[in-house]
Structures are given as C-alpha cells and as structure tokens.
Amino acid sequence: MSAPSRFDRGHTDDLMTFLAASPTPYHAVANAAARLEKAGFRQVAETDAWDGSTGGRYVLRGGALVAWYVPEGAAAHTPFRIVGAHTDSPNLRVKPRPDSGAHGWRQVAVEVYGGPLMNSWLDRDLGLAGRLSLRDGSTRLVNVDRPLLRVPQLAIHMDRNVSAEGLKLDKQRHLQPVWGLGDSVHDGDLIAFLEEEAGLERGEVTGWDLMTHSVEAPAYLGRDNELVAGPRMDNLLSVHAGTAALAAVAGSGADPSSIPVLAAFDHEETGSQSDTGADGPLLGSVLERSVFARGGSYEDRARAFAGTVCLSSDTGHAVHPNYAERHDPTHHPRVNGGPLLKVNVNNRYATDGSGRAVFAAACEKADVPFQTFVSNNSMPCGTTIGPITAARHGISTVDIGVAILSMHSARELCGADDPHLLANALVGFLRP
C-alpha cells in the first residue's frame, strides 16, 4: 500500500461498503475475516492444537477477531506489532422478551447499549441484525437491512418547550421502537419473524444477540465530496483500516523482526470487561500460544512482550465549527488532516513520549501527516482500549485514530481522505 494521492478514494469507497455490510460486531468480524481469507489467512480454532508454521492465521470469538502473520525467519521471541480496535458501537439492543406494545402499536423492547446520542435514533428508519443461537448449538447471522423499526419523536405541538429547554428522553419510556400495528402482544412474534428471514424452521432459535441499525447507506457529502457520512465509524473505520493494513503487509512479505497483529475487540463501549473485550484474556492467550507454538518458552514469551508495541486505533474529536470553545485552544484537529495522536497525562490514553516517536516514525515512513489531540482541561476525557491493553499485558501502547464529528451518533462524519491516510500509517507501523 503506497502513500495515497489527495484524490485516491478507493480505500474510502471500500470502507463505505464495509460499514454498510457490518451492522453488528458479529458481521464486522465475519467481513474482516473474509477479507483476510482472500489475503491467504486461515482460521484456527481455539480448541485445536496450533502449529508454529509461517503464514497468516486468525481467531474468531463472538464479535472479536485476532489475526496475525508469522514471517519466514521469525523466532519464538520475536516481538509483536499490534493494531488494536473495537467492533461495537452504541445502539439500541433487543431485550430477552422483545415483544411489546400498547394502544394499537406493536413495539420491540430494547435496552440502550453504551452511550449513544439518543436523539440521533429518533425518526430514523431502522433495521435489525445480530446473531441467532440455534437449538443444535450453532449460530446464524441475520440482517434485516430495510426499514423495519422506528422510534417516533413526540410532535412539537405536544412538547412546546422542546426548542427552548432541549429534548429530554427517558431511556425506558421514550426509546421503544414501533414495528407494526395490533391490539394484542404475542410472545415469540419477533423471533418467529427473524427465523423466517434467516430461512430457519419455527422454534430453531433459542437465544439471540440483536441490535438496531440505521438503514441509510454511507454517502459522500460536501461540495467536492470531501466528507463521508455513515454509521459505526466509531470504530469500524479503524477495524477496516487495520484489516487492510495487515493484508497489505502480509501480501508483500512481512519483516521477520516483528509479527504484525490485528486485535479487534467487542464491548469497548461498555468497559471492555468480557471474554471478547480488551480487558479479557483473548489477546494475551493468542499471543502466548503463538510463541509456544513456535517452540518458545516462558522466557521467550517475556522477551516477545517486552519488545511489543500496540497502536490503539479509535476515532477522536475533530474541532467542531459550532463549538470550538469545547476544544483545547492550541489543539484543533481538522478532518482530512491525517490521523490523530491522542494524549492524556492522566492515562485515559496510553500515549507517552516514546509512543509518540513510534507513531511519528510510522507516519514519516508512510509519508502521512498526523495531528495531536488533547482534551480541554475543563472537560473529562474519554478513554479507549489503549490503557487497558497496556496495563493487562504490560506492553507499550499508543493511542491514535481519525478525527470525526458526531461521535456516538447513529450517523457520524469524517473526512474522505483520512481513512486511507490512517491505513497507510498502519502499514508503516506494521512494517517497521
């Protein structure tokens, strides 16, 4: 992957396809895996014995994926170069008893996942997607990618103060979407509908992980198409860039001085504490097993981890033209200005001076400009998988990302050039 020209939009076109095809973490990792398969990677099961041969491999667990490429000549103590990201986004998720309704409306009972901008989910055509667990122990992905649900907002005639006082939403009462009409509620209707959509027999589904998504397609925006509007950029933009970068490095023959890795975790938006989250054992287990499969000892594992570096790639905040005072006065990241280096001295981001040098070297190698983000001192800073990864595994970690607006909205906004600038910077990092 070479440095892009200002008008090279092939990567961004592909990102838009990826976003549209990945309404849930389960779809995102399936799509990333398919792209890695085309690059020669093969899936390995965690329940199988692993060998130490060279080449690309990946592990899928729920909504998480870890992929790595062992170059020819890599030793057991060879350190890793990791791109970390997350697959989940704030949304509305279906409750265990989903069938609901009142006053002639059929509704779906949902729970708020993460910290969405709740107003962005109102009066929007929503689809429904996720993972169905079947009676035989298998799973099936389902995606109803058409207008199915809607959370209707109260008319201004019944809320005359909304413009002056702001919209106030109760998460329990005001966010339940409608999906039809009927005077009675029948338990099992929604799941029966999804069984039919997925081509399953009635009663095959015994469990589900389902969530809503906007069915509006990603699109270029602006006078010169210099912007992109779309869903789940936080943080599928980074998952897509990391997948493309790992495939590019593997395709050109990775340097045996390090092993490139992509770690795409679930549940970042709710704290990362799960078996598929960054605060779980998945990454450490995969890295350790890779060392041991190549004949390494615990000493080799310690040496490999000591030399490992992780770039935690997540979206960051571009300066907002209507709220510039909310930003630090000397740090105003702009869209299409290149990826962000994210810094917080209270360790909400993991970046330090040595990490800055690593990222600067990667960007210089890839001929990619980068910017720095730091929060206004008067406002709390968000966090990422970066500090969690650093603390859990004892590896050097740097927080980076792409500047966007409308973070946690059902539809976010980024620069059209930034996605491929990030991908090129990741190639520079994974190929030291």
DSSP 42-69: EE--TTSPP---SEEEEEEETTEEEEEE
What's the chain's average pLDDT?
95
Question: Is residue 317 a known part of a binding site?
Answer: no
Question: Is residue 408 a known part of a binding site?
Answer: yes
Domain that holds residue 44: 10-89+231-430
CATH number of the domain within which 48 lies: 3.40.630.10
Question: Is residue 327 a known part of a binding site?
Answer: no
Mean pLDDT, to the nearest integer, of 291-315?
A: 97
Task: Give pLDDT, residue 82.
Answer: 98
CATH number of the domain within which 188 lies: 2.30.250.10
Task: Give pLDDT, residue 380.
Answer: 85
Looking at the fold, whether 304 and 256 belong to one and the same domain comes out as yes
Looking at the fold, whether 42 and 147 belong to one and the same domain comes out as no
Task: Give pLDDT, residue 381.
Answer: 87
Looking at the fold, whether 346 and 205 belong to one and the same domain comes out as no
Looking at the fold, whether 78 and 26 belong to one and the same domain comes out as yes
In tens, the pLDDT along 365-404 reads 999 999 999 999 998 888 999 999 999 999 999 999 999 9
Residue 7: pLDDT over 60? no
In tens, the pLDDT along 334-348 reads 999 999 999 999 999
Distances from the Cα of 247 to the Cα of 14, 176, 240, angstroms:
14, 41, 11
Looking at the fold, whether 53 and 85 belong to one and the same domain comes out as yes
Residue 8: pLDDT over 70? no
Looking at the fold, whether 236 and 381 belong to one and the same domain comes out as yes
In tens, the pLDDT along 165-184 reads 889 999 999 999 999 999 88
**Position with higher pLDDT, 432 vs 420:** 420
Tell me if 222 is assigned to some domain: no
* Domains in the chain, number: 2
Tell me if 5 is assigned to some domain: no
Tell me if 223 is assigned to some domain: no
Q: Of 214, 243, 265, which residue constitutes the final position of a domain?
A: 214
Looking at the fold, whether 377 and 364 belong to one and the same domain comes out as yes
Tell me if 226 is assigned to some domain: no
Tell me if 356 is assigned to some domain: yes
Looking at the fold, whether 85 and 100 belong to one and the same domain comes out as no
Looking at the fold, whether 208 and 151 belong to one and the same domain comes out as yes
DSSP 310-348: EEEE--EEPPPTT-GGGB-TT----TTS-PEEE--TTTT
Looking at the fold, whether 240 and 369 belong to one and the same domain comes out as yes
